[in-house]
A = this chain, B = another copy of it.
Amino acid sequence: MAKLQRRLRLGMVGGGPGAFIGAVHRMAARLDDRFELVAAALSSNPEKAIDFAKELHIPRAYGSYQEMVEGEAKHAEPIDVVAIVTPNSTHYPVAKAFLEAGIHVMCDKPMTISVEEAEDLAATVKRTGLIFGLTHTYSGYPMVRQMREMIQAGALGKIRMIDVSYIQGWLATPLENTGAKQAEWRTDPTKTGKGGALGDIATHAYHLALFTTGLTGDSIAADVTTFVPGRRVDDNVQAMLRFEGGAKANLYASQIAAGFENDLSIRISGEKGSFEWSQENPNYLHHLPLNAAPQLITRGGPTALPWATHSTRVPSGHPEGYLEAFGQLYSDLAELITARLEGRDPNPISTLLPGVEDGVRGMKFIDATLDSAQADSAWTKL
């Protein structure tokens, strides 16, 4: 088939005024200029949805996602893909509806609020053959991909230990009682699902561990705590993990680590060396080879590999950050869809985009963690 002569048409559900992640998705989708945002149901309040779409110069504004599915289904130039950026509890019905209408999906995480929903989505994706991206943002960082590529190539030998932590302090106080929107829905189990810190950030940490190492989780022993009195979901997760093949991990996720901003850090040790990486300073990867000098790997430096250089836009020394990592996921999505439209294989690097199976694993992780915590931290299958 011929080369696609246009930008892809993107729709968005959720992401109204004041929403954090919706704005992030829009910036990310713009960064590499492969999408045009042409349709949206930005709010569950139809009036707000339409006004805000106008403000953002989005041509086709809908009052609800149902209207949008219908409208796009019969449009001459329908959206190629929809971004779902609503609170967690509605990811499932929205994603399902668009998939059933034949539209690819880019979904925020955690993917659903139950394993059942997750597995149904996975089945739907399988049945329809559509593309489903899940925005585990941190997998878009060049240095994270570099780790994965080097580990696959054997740089660390067999993996032994992972130490991953994701700590924030913004919920150290009962912020949800002060009118703060982000805090409200993220601590409301009807919107956020069963887990608090668990769903919001521990899932990122777990995904990062799997993504970088290629390991498969076996079981977990967890202690889950709500430190802030009155809070309706957990705000602190501690866990020990075991993987198939013998590797182990520590996982620590907290939203009450007062004073910390968004400190996702990982240390991976194998027989031949270790990696150390921290999201707050993401342009640098520390490689500690066994019996050799520690090396600093930079996005575009002399030892950067294709998975890193592909996912970077400016020379190293010119820092990239969160939006660029997020943008990379959108570029991967664009490549997957474009390749399909052009009838060719996609660039294999773009298949790094997390998908529906990652979402299923994330939901199982949430369930296993809660089950273990309720069973006095007994080892529980992942």
Contacts and interface: CB of A to CB of B under 8 A. Distances in A.
Interface stretch (A38-46, A72-80, A105-113, A297-305): A297-305
A160 interface: yes
Secondary structure of the A contact surface, majority rule: loop
A149 to B, nearest CB: 15
Contacts of A240: 221, 223, 238-240, 377
A313 to B, nearest CB: 7
B280 A257 contact: no
Interface stretch (A22-30, A119-127, A335-343): A22-30
A154 to B, nearest CB: 14
A238 B223 CA distance: 13
Interface in A184-239: 221, 223, 225, 227, 236, 238-239
A351 interface: no
Interface residues of A, number: 88
Interface string A1-31: 0000011000000000000100110110011
A250 B250 contact: yes
Contacts of A302: 291-293
Contact of A298 (B223, B257, B261, B274): B261
A135 interface: no
Can you tell how many copies of this chain the complex includes? 4
A32 B217 CA distance: 40
Contact of A20 (B267, B303, B315): B315
A315 B279 CA distance: 13
A59 interface: no
Interface in A245-302: 248, 250, 252, 254, 256-263, 267, 269-274, 279-283, 287-298, 300-302
Nearest to A262: B317
A7 B236 CA distance: 44
B322 A320 contact: yes
A290 to B, nearest CB: 4
Contact of A236 (B161, B221, B283): B161
Given A318-B321, A376-B379, A273 B258 contact: yes
B288 A259 contact: yes
B225 A248 contact: yes
A141 to B, nearest CB: 10
B314 A322 contact: yes
A153 interface: no
A169 interface: yes
A165 interface: yes
A324 interface: yes
A88 interface: no
B261 A315 contact: yes
15 contacts: A6-B57, A30-B30, A161-B227, A163-B167, A167-B269, A221-B221, A250-B250, A259-B269, A259-B287, A260-B288, A280-B283, A281-B281, A318-B321, A319-B321, A321-B324
Q: Which 10 A-B pairs have the closest CB atoms?
A: A259-B288, A261-B317, A262-B317, A319-B321, A318-B322, A294-B296, A293-B295, A321-B321, A293-B303, A257-B269
